[in-house]
Amino acid sequence: MPADLPSTLLFLGRLLLGGAFVFAGLRNIQNAAFLTGLMAARGVPQARLALWAGIVLQIIAGVLVMAGLWTAIASAVLVLFLIVATPMFHNFWDHQGPDRAARINGFVGNVALGGGFLTLIAQSL
């Protein structure tokens, strides 16, 4: 095994994990009106402000993870983001049929992302 393989894999892992959140944040900008309405319907106070705070958090923390800067802190912030956002947007228990399956997939995907960020936190300590 090459001596630099672990650092190369860590770099690629950070790019993929952080990049997923940068991409999601940018995509959420395009869907801001819809997402604000969804959040307001679920009782989120100041839904528009909360959405934009989440978008900024996704993009900045994602970039920090990608760059390897303050990785543990940025990863912890994204874990907390996932804890809040996952039940709000992937509430499979309120749905049936194909929509339920899609939401279960999103829920499980977010759990896996959380696991990846916990791994980055552990590696950073």
pLDDT band at 2 (very low <50, low <70, confident <90, very high): low
Mean predicted confidence (pLDDT) in 59-73: 97
Q: Print the domain residue range for 13.
A: 5-86+94-124
The per-residue pLDDT for 117 is: 96
pLDDT more than 70, % of the chain:
98
Tokens in use for 70?
Answer: 């303050």
Query: What are 29-57's pLDDT values in tens digits?
Result: 999 999 999 999 988 999 999 999 999 99
Nearest-CA neighbor of 112 among 32, 28, 13? Answer: 13
- Report how many domains make up the chain: 1
Q: Is pLDDT at 1 greater than 60 in this prediction?
A: no
The 3-state DSSP class for residue 39 equals helix
Cα(61)–Cα(18) distance, integer angstroms: 7
